[in-house]
Each structure stands twice: as C-alpha cells, then as structure tokens.
Amino acid sequence: MLFLWLYMFYSCAGSCAGLAARGSPAPPRAAPPLLPGEPGEESSLEEQRAAPDAASSISSFFNGSGTKRLPQAIIIGVKKGGTRALLEFLRVHPDVRAVGAEPHFFDRNYERGLAWYRDLMPRTLEGQITMEKTPSYFVTKEAPARISSMSKGTKLIVVVRDPVTRAISDYTQTLSKKPDIPTFESLTFKNRTTGLIDTSWSAIQIGIYAKHLENWLLYFPIGQILFVSGERLISDPAGELGRVQDFLGLKRIITDKHFYFNKTKGFPCLKKAEGSSKPHCLGKTKGRTHPDIDQEVVQRLRDFYRPFNMKFYQMTGQDFGWD
C-alpha cells in the first residue's frame, strides 16, 4: 500500500508540473510565520509555534527535518545545582530535543530577538518537546517577564541544591579558573569579626532561593514550575527523572536501567548517551574535589540560609532536607 501511495504521489507531482508548464496558475505560496515584534504580526505565539515552517509537511515526512520551535520547557536554574546532568539525562528520551549549549537568550542576548533564539533550537517532530537550559535565568530579574512574554504556558524547571554546598561548588569552579582568588572564608564575610555575610557575592546570593522565586511567581503560577532536588538527582536519578517526565507530560521511558553509579566521580552516569551505544559520564569539570573550608564558616552559612530555606520549603511545598 505504501509503494502504491508513493507511486501515485510522484505521478501526481509530475503531471502537476506539466500542467503548470502549460500555463495553469500555481497557487500562491504562503508567507512564513511571523514572530512577535515583526511587521504584520496578527496570530498568537501559540499558533505560530504550532504552524509548520517553510518546508511542507510532506517534505518533512520524507527528509525528517521537522520544525524549529520556541522551547516549551526551560531549565532556568540554578548554577552548580545539577542542571547539566538533568539535561543530559533528559536527552535520552526520544520525545525530548534540547540545545546542548546554553543560549543565554533571556539574560544576555535578548536584543537579538525571538527569530534568532528560535533558530538555535533543534528541529522537532510533532509530539516532541523543545528544551534549553540556562541556569543564570533564575537569578536574572528580567527573565520571568521575558519568558512570559514569549509564552505564558512555558514549563519551568529549577534544580536546587543545599545552598552552602552549592556556594562551595561555585567557588571551586572559579578557583579552577583563577587560582589566585581570595579564600572562600574571606569572600563569605563583609566583616569576619561580626560574622556579617556578604550577600553581594554571587556565590552566596544565588542560594537565597526564596528571594528569587518571589520574582518568578509574579509571572508564573507555582504549579508551572518543577523543583528538582540536586541531591536526589545523585542518589535516585530515576526517581527524579520520573517526576520530570510526568511534569513534561512524557511517557516514563527513562528508568533505573539507564543509569549506573560511578564511584570515582561520585555521581550517576548514563549507560548509553543520546545517539551513542557507549556509557557516558559528565566531563572533568563536574564533580571537582572541594577545598577544605573552615567548619565555623560553614556553620555560619548554614545559620544564615536556614530562614530562607524554611521559606523556600513553604513556597514550594517541598522539604529538601537542608540544614
């Protein structure tokens, strides 16, 4: 039946071409969909995202090109929380297509426009989800309004981690690039004697999750944001991925069978990565050994973060178990 259909399709294509050559008027070509901000914009963003691009659906069927769409889901944070691991794990799912590099559109490249942003996206087929991740969005004041302007229905994912451990991991990353930076202890305090924490230091400021979340809740309902535990992403990756797949409306395909625990690195790795038959672990920039930090400083930070953590638990309805 398929061969008969193909024969009729190509026979029709040839005869139609002949008719056009004899002067039959060709139907007008539809203009490509416009993005918000372009002259003549009339349709909604949702309609534009659902519409095919210049290639017809028949062409897409044969060449498998699919369509470039604006993301329906974004991993918005947080830095050093486990966002890269989550993205790599999700890309195993056949219905998830994601940009590998961080686009930084809603914080650094917004002036380039949505057309530029959409062009960065991978091509997807109907039923697949387009995703990207840029952890700095969560702490960017303008990001919630900008994403809401693109689509109020965008699903948001935040990977959070014990803010004290996250801050040390953040410092460790910077230290690997700039070995001559001051010590963690000296950067933590405005005044070491009084114990006043320097909240202007980004490593500290990022971990005040409740403060940043308040900004997002001005534009998105709490039910549209999924909070993933960075700790459970290590201890139970399949469990956390199950929650993520449910949130995205995907079939639970990623399960325990996809992971093995790498004792050397101290975190789970994929038995098979996207498009590969070989095991895959995150690179050497992940799982760095943290420097020894004065335990008095660690305790001061735990005391500092505690009220913010409690508020974050209340806002999200989840107890992440940080102390």
Known binding residue 263? Answer is no
Known binding residue 177? Answer is no
Known binding residue 169? Answer is yes
Tokens at residue 1, please? 């039946």
Tokens at residue 236, please? 């139970």
Known binding residue 81? Answer is yes
Known binding residue 83? Answer is yes
- CA–CA gap between residue 72 and residue 25 (Å, rounded): 40
Q: Residue 172, SS3? A: helix
- Candidate list 68, 79, 80, 155, residue with the active-site label: 80
Alpha helices in the chain (DSSP H): 2-21, 45-50, 57-63, 83-90, 114-120, 143-150, 163-177, 184-188, 202-205, 209-216, 230-235, 237-247, 295-316
Distance of CA 148 to the CA centre of its chain: 15
Known binding residue 316? Answer is no
Whether 152 is catalytic is: no
Known binding residue 290? Answer is yes
Known binding residue 84? Answer is yes
Least Cα distance to 315 among 170, 109, 160 occurs for 160
- CA–CA gap between residue 212 and residue 225 (Å, rounded): 13
Tokens at residue 224, please? 């549209």
Known binding residue 82? Answer is yes
Tokens at residue 312, please? 């974050």
Cα R_g (the chain), whole angstroms? 24
Q: Which residues of 194-231 are buried (b: 16+ CB within 10 A; e: fewer)?
A: eeebeeebebbbbbbbbebbebbeebbeeeebbbbbbb
Active site (catalytic) residues: 80
Binding residues: 80-84, 161, 169, 286-290
Binding residues for 3'-phosphoadenylyl sulfate: 80-84, 161, 169, 286-290
